[in-house]
Amino acid sequence: MNNLSRKTYSTVNLPALLSNYTQIANLAPTSKTIAVIKANAYGHGAVEVAKYLSPHVPAFAVAFIDEAIQLRDAGITLPILIIEGALSYQDLSIALEQNFWLMVHSTEQVNWLKQYPTPYVGKLWLKVDTGMNRLGIKPSDVDGILTQFSPEQLENLVLCTHFSSADELGNPKTQLQIQQFEQVNEKHGYKKSLANSAGILSWPKSHGDYNRLGLALYGATPIPINDLPIKLTPVMTLQSTIMALRKLNIDESVGYGETWQAKRPSLIATVAIGYADGYPRNAKNGTPVCINGQIATLAGRVSMDMITVDVTDIVDVNVGDSVELWGENLTIETVAEHLDSNNYELLTRISNRVPKFYVK
């Protein structure tokens, strides 16, 4: 780490990743738990994460084929589920060659399969739209669609759906989606996959032959921390450093737009991370950071390369001290409470300007 002129980086704790995986997979012991590593493994580095998890998981999932090709190029050999499926007819042959499992969510995709010159023998997942209304075949259309698959395709078919509100534990929608899905599958008895992280953690009835574990794998939670059946460990710790300290008199302001004024003589730390690094510009005054084990709060608007923090009450603070934006000592969920976003977005939008270091 000596070659970093700016000590702003994220640390990715791989043993924590595996411990989260194992604990969560144990909540659904009869399911296979697929590790979802789309969007560069939620900002953690898809290749590193895939290499580390490969001996422990049955398959990976990504959003689209380019993400999967990147993994194959890096030597990952496990099956990879493509959540958006083929985005063009050409994708079919790539998927077949590379052992990608294609989700089929539209009549266009079914037509491409039918146009394939030889019987398409790759593994297919048929997505049923039970109320997300984004992708998938309507329950009433599923039987008709199924008649267009070959017997071989049907033999290995996985029927799947996706929840819109599984993170809301009191919302009856999830139960309704499960019921709709089961009604469709009742007469067919295909292998099934319903659960995302929230499903695995909170909706045992949604556990299928395959579950699709994303966010919680990384130690972040889609449901309130107090409702978690297990203890998750944050995998990413995002850190920076104090570049400068300055004293402010009462009524002096900080940063663009003067959105924060000192109500008392204050000490302000300027920290070397900004929105160009993916730290959210909409983080409000009062958003917490952790310095020397103590919580300090954002004062003034987030700039492109810097943030400013009120450290008046922090004991023993110096230029060069490290600042944790979230991670081991400060949950990303706490940070997310102070801005108009969630932990998914915070993790995935950390930019390439922030180097990652892997703890093995």
Comparison of 162 and 192: residue with beta carbon closer to ligand PLP: 162
**Does 214 engage in binding with ligand PLP (CB under 6 A)?**
yes
Q: Does 174 contact ligand PLP by CB under 6 A?
A: no
User: Interface with ligand PLP includes 202 (CB under 6 A)?
Assistant: no
Per-residue contact string for residues 72-111; x = within reach of ligand PLP by CB under 6 A:
-----------x----------------------------
Q: Is 163 strand, coil or helix?
A: coil
DSSP state of 283: P
CA–CA gap between residue 287 and residue 341 (Å, rounded): 13
Residue from 13, 197, 241, 343 touching ligand PLP (CB under 6 A): that is: 197
Residue range at the interface with ligand PLP (CB under 6 A); choices 2-10, 207-215, 299-307, 313-321: 207-215
Q: Pick the catalytic residue: 114, 138, 231, 256?
A: 256
| H or E element, residue 260 | strand 260-261
Per-residue CA distances from 288 to 24, 67, 216, 283, 310 (Å)? 28, 33, 22, 9, 10
d(CA 234, CA 210): 24
Rounded to whole angstroms, how far apart are CA atoms 237 and 73?
A: 28
Contact at 8 Å (CB) between 197 and 141?
Answer: no
CA distance 44 to 13: 9
The answer to whether 265 and 249 have CB atoms below 8 angstroms apart is: yes
CB 318 within 8 A of CB 260: no
* Residue 36 interacts with ligand PLP (CB under 6 A): yes or no: yes
Please identify the residue of the shown chain whose CB is closest to the bound ligand PLP.
Answer: 214
The footprint of ligand PLP on this chain (CB under 6 A) covers a number of residues equal to 11
- Site residues (CB under 6 A) for ligand PLP, limited to 109-168: 162
Catalytic residue check, 256: yes
By CB under 6 A, tell whether 215 contacts ligand PLP: yes
Which segment (109-117, 147-155, 209-217, 345-353) binds ligand PLP by CB under 6 A? 209-217
Q: Which spans of this chain sit near ligand PLP (rule: CB under 6 A)? A: 36, 38, 83, 162, 196-197, 212-215, 222
Known catalytic residues are: 38, 256
